[in-house]
Amino acid sequence: AAGVIQSPRHLIKEKRETATLKCYPIPRHDTVYWYQQGPGQDPQFLISFYEKMQSDKGSIPDRFSAQQFSDYHSELNMSSLELGDSALYFCASSFQGGYYGYTFGSGTRLTVV
C-alpha cells in the first residue's frame, strides 16, 4: 500500500539559510498535517491543509510557511533558519481525520549548523 512520502530524508543547512521540505500524502487522503519534533520531545503541530486550503494552525513560526498544491503534495518552507529549528519534521495525512486514522511519513531530519 502507498504510504506518506517525505523528501529529503536528511537536510543540513547553515544558519540564516532557507529550507524546503516536501510531503506526498496517501492518494485520496484529504488532509495533510505538519509536525515538528525536537530531540526527546513530543511532536508539535505546525499547520494543516484540508482539500488544499489551510485548515488549522499551531505553533508555526512566522519564518515558516506552507502550502498544498493542486496534486495534493505539500511543502513546508523555512527561512532565516536558526539552530533551534534542528528537529525531525513529520508530515501526516488522513481521510476524514480520526475516523480512519492518521498515517505518518518517515520524517525529514533537519540539522542547522
Instruction: Give residues in contact with another protein (CB under 8 A).
Output: 30-31, 33, 37, 41-43, 45, 48, 50, 55-56, 58, 88, 90, 92, 94, 96-99, 101-104, 106-107, 109
**C-alpha cell recorded at residue 69:** 498544491
Could you tell me the smallest distance in angstroms from the CB atom of residue 97 to another protein?
4
Instruction: Tell me the HSE value of 74 on the side-chain side, using a 13 A CA sphere.
Output: 33
**Which residue lies nearer to another protein by CB, 50 or 67?**
50
Q: Which CB atom, from 13 or from 109, has the smaller least distance to another protein?
A: 109
In the complex, least distance from residue 54 CB atom to another protein, rounded to whole angstroms: 12
From the CB of 50, what's the least distance to another protein, in Å? 5
Q: How far is the CB of 69 from another protein (least distance, A)?
A: 18
Residue 112's region, left for phi above 0, alpha for psi from -120 to 50, else beta, is beta
Residue 90 neighbours by CB distance under 10 Å:
23
Cα of 56 vs its chain's centroid, Å: 13
Residue 83 phi, psi (nearest 5):
-55, -35
**Nearer CB in complex with another protein: 20/50:** 50
